[in-house]
Structure 1
């Protein structure tokens, strides 16, 4: 007579948890409502925490520093509605809108760059390189030259211009479907067309409007108002969750279109959805602060290198974008005493070496042509 011994029961797993050991070094999760599952990397969580802490610190420094330096306790009292009336005016009407605009614009550009780079499998893909930013810029410059004030009208024009450029890129890149490589190449051509149109509008506009458009085209956070920030905040509230929900489908695109279709991914539908999210973020970010150069290109690559992931993580990319914009704006205010540089000049100076590094890296890997 033999007796079979049953294995001792292991510790009970909480509802929704995935089997241990299936994802070593990762934290797996499954949510019932909405039906979402995935794997979190402790390193990625740590990177997001560090970037969030750094962004938070620079945000408060940006509110405190200026022509008149304000101690942090005075800033906190002003935010609570107490303290000196002059301090409240400086904080509520000047520095806080500028800091919030920099935060939201950086998040929008960082996430949009991550979406496009993941969709195209190309680290050089960004709204700056694909004509989307230029399309929004051309439309906004047209509205400025026509004499419109900054506000909902210019933001709507920015969205219209970005959508037009994106549709043009997608249609011209279509050949029994699209590929990331064709989208990038066509996007570069559309970017040059939009840049030429912007130059024409600047040359034929009246001097006052042309000067206003020129200051905006560099990328500027100075003088931002709550009215300009509101539409961008609403856009982020809608499109950020959509971008996160698209993450799993985007990862299957890295396996190639045929494999992705075999796994049940609707390749062209996913690409269109990603493009719509990226365009919306870029359009309202550009309409708020102008085409702040290189943030959408550099922030996803910074986040990817820090997190050690195979693709730019959207949340970390957004935080990296916010950090880059806020640090650049702080530097723009302090680099030249008595004069404030537009934030786009500083981000351009920081982003150009990143672009050169990516080009050299792509050539060494045999993918740069």
Structure 2
């Protein structure tokens, strides 16, 4: 079957990976990439130790002064890499949930799945004193358990988007109370560290902390790409998808699992970073005017938004650094209010 001339196929029509992108979408992805690269270069060059672009290029090519190399490659680069990868993961996670629920409010931070991941990570930190890998596993288990609970409570002859959102908000509120109780019941030092981490922060992120989350994110992104064709068919409705040989409920469960793992892996390292998953897919769709599931534009938009937000958090009040979650909440809160007003009008 011939594909339209204004589109480009990534993968193959009969393969496991099957992504059809409009040329307008690729243009905007390229623009987002250029802007993100520009922000990334400034992020590597700025900070308490100022770095010229000439010095930065020497460091990146292995010819820089030793202390400056340590600052750029061991301190700033892990943080930048985290912002790029975590932003892309949150963007894809939000796109998956909004496609499944068919509601712009369908985001893991609104539904509360990142709160469940936060609960799992807190259990490992406070009760077991686990390291980076244990915290990552705890966050993913917590996110999956929370998703299973919300899914089970919301299931009634299938899943209805608004019902899932309301139940998710209720479960999130109860888990938030549990998280607060765990923090005030722990010793002061652990509680302060958990509270700072709970604001969503990339401050001081190291390669040792990032690698476990990157492993989970890479696997979940690959799985999401393999599910993209089925999810696009699922957007036509369960009956149509079933007629085309798609097991709608199983596909929905696998996609939800991918979204939960993406959110939980980010939460494991950086804490719950709100609103990127909510905003990125919708802004990407507004720019590209692409219908259906838009994973790649959502990933580019999420990476750009989190990189920009972290750059603002790191440099707005120097020498003090804000948790990036404060910046995303400040921006995303206004967008959430706009969405709520728009949805109430409907």
Q: Which TM-score band (shorter chain)?
A: over 0.9
Give the aligned partner of residue 141 of structure 1: 122
2:292 is equivalent to residue 298 of structure 1: no
Hey, what does 2:57 align to over in structure 1?
76
Seen in structure 2, the aligned counterparts of structure 1 residues 29 and 80 have a Cα distance that, compared at 3 Å, is: closer
Number of the residue aligned with 1:348: 329
Contact 2:232 2:293 in 1 (8 A): no
Within a 5 Å distance, the mapping from 1:307-346 to structure 2 comes to 307-346=288-327
* Residues in 1 aligned to 2:66 and 2:277: alpha-carbon distance in whole angstroms: 38
Shift of 1:361: 2.0
Structure 1 counterpart of 2:187: 206
**Helix, strand or coil: the match of 1:337?**
coil
The whole-number CA distance in structure 2 between the counterparts of 1:201 and 1:30 is 47
Greater relative contact order (Cα < 8 A, sep 6+): 2
User: What are the superposed Cα offsets for residues 197-256 of structure 1, whole Å, 9 maximum, x if unpaired?
Assistant: 111111211100000001100000011111111122222322212212211211222222
1:202-241 equivalence runs, <5 A: 202-241=183-222
How far off its partner does 1:29 sit?
A: 7.0
Q: How does 1:41-56 map to 2 (within 5 A)?
A: 41-56=22-37
Instruction: Confirm or deny: 8 A CA contact 2:19 2:228 kept in the other structure.
Output: no
Pairs within 5 Å for 1:1-369: 18-19=1-2, 23=4, 25-27=6-8, 31=12, 34=15, 39-146=20-127, 148=129, 150-364=131-345, 366=346
Distance across 1 between alignment mates of 2:305 and 2:16 = 34
Distance 1:40 1:228 in 2: 34
Secondary structure at 1:292's aligned position in 2?
coil
Pairwise CA distance, 1:187:
1.3
Structure 2 counterpart SS, 1:128: helix
Deviations 1:36-61 (A, max 9, x none): 55532111111111111111221121
1:89: Cα distance to partner?
1.2
Helix, strand or coil for the counterpart of 2:50?
Answer: coil
3-state SS of 1:39 partner: strand
Task: Provide Cα deviations, 1:272-305, integer angstroms capped at 9, x if missing partner.
Answer: 1101100111111111111011111111111111
Distance 1:246 1:152 in 2: 27
Deviation, 1:24, is 6.1
Inter-CA distance 288–37: structure 2 relative to 1 (3 Å threshold): closer
Q: Which has the higher helix share?
A: 2
- Aligned counterparts of 1:312 and 1:32: Cα–Cα separation in 2: 16
CA deviation vs aligned residue, 1:78-112 (integer Å, no higher than 9, x gap): 23332211101101221011111111111111110
For the Cα contact (< 8 Å) 1:159–1:279, is it kept in 2? yes
* Paired positions, count: 346
**Matched residue SS, 2:318:** coil
| CA-atom RMSD in angstroms | 1.9
Q: Give the match's secondary structure for 2:64.
A: coil
**Closer/same/farther in 2, CA of residues 258 and 32 from structure 1, 3 Å limit:** closer
1:122-169 superposed Cα distances (whole Å, 9 cap, x missing partner)? 110111011210001112122222362551111111011101101111
| Structure 1 residues without counterparts, runs of 5 or longer | 1-17
